[in-house]
Amino acid sequence: MCGRFTNELTWAEIHALYSIHDAPPSNLQPRYNIAPTQTVDFVHLDKAGNMELNKGRWWLIPFWAKEVPKATLFNARIETADSTPAFREAFKSRRCLIPADGYFEWTTNEEDGKKDPWLLHLPEHRGFSFAGLWAHNDNLGVTSCTIITAPAVDHISHIHSRMPVILEPEHYAAWLDGSVQGTDAKRILLDNHLDDQLEFHRVGREVNSSRYEGTDTKKPLINSL
């Protein structure tokens, strides 16, 4: 799954990932411990078919909902994203990319039973994109998104059994293309992810609090592996 992530990408790095030609946003700030229900950046196609940077609540609210759902909708499982009512329409026509440069997972410490956080990232902490879905709900006036997850690759499965799908940049356009549907759309994610490249290390338990926003969230613990 993905329950927390980081995004310290600059506008130049965002532009390099997506070739967005709009003026840079004035409020693009580094984020060190992003939690569900917080506002995040995401990229989708505008009406002209160009990539556009938008903001939304990380916890999808379907377009048809009359109130905020109580179900956990900050992740969408790739196995059922095209059939689950909350995600079905977004999977068809509102796919997105969510920029990040790391995410956190937790294991249980055998000595004290508490949660140990791990930071997972690509080599050199380079920026990447989670595959996602987005929606706009007119009833509530809310734009929102969710991150797609899949079974974890072998070398990170001891940390968690699932992983957010980190898509290869060459396949961004194909994922956002609404003419690609069903199994073909799923295959884009399952065959073209970067999760095999993930590196990881333990970080301090301060990260366990969603209110903690210290700049040291990525600092490795000594002898953590």
Q: In the chain, where are the structural domains located?
A: 5-208
List C-alpha distances in Å: 77 to 71, 145, 195: 14, 14, 16
Q: What is the pLDDT of residue 222?
A: 65
Question: 5-208, what's its fold?
Answer: hypothetical protein yedk fold (3.90.1680)
Per-residue pLDDT of the chain (225 residues; tens, 9 = 90+): 899 999 999 999 999 999 887 777 777 899 999 999 999 999 999 999 999 999 999 999 999 999 998 899 999 999 999 999 999 999 999 999 999 999 999 999 999 999 999 999 999 999 999 999 999 999 999 999 999 999 999 999 999 999 999 999 999 999 999 999 999 999 999 999 999 999 999 999 999 999 999 999 999 986 544
| pTM for the full predicted model | 0.95
Tell me: the pLDDT tens digits for 7-39? 999 999 999 999 887 777 777 899 999 999 999
| Tokens standing for residue 49 | 């078919």
Residue of 8, 96, 105, 145 marked catalytic: 105
CA distance 82 to 102: 26
Q: What's the CA dihedral at 205, 210, 212, 215 to 10 degrees? A: 90
Residue of 2, 8, 96, 145 marked catalytic: 2
| CA-angle at 148, arms to 167 and 108, nearest 5° | 105
105 tagged catalytic: yes
CA distance 22 to 15: 9
Q: What is the pLDDT of residue 70?
A: 86
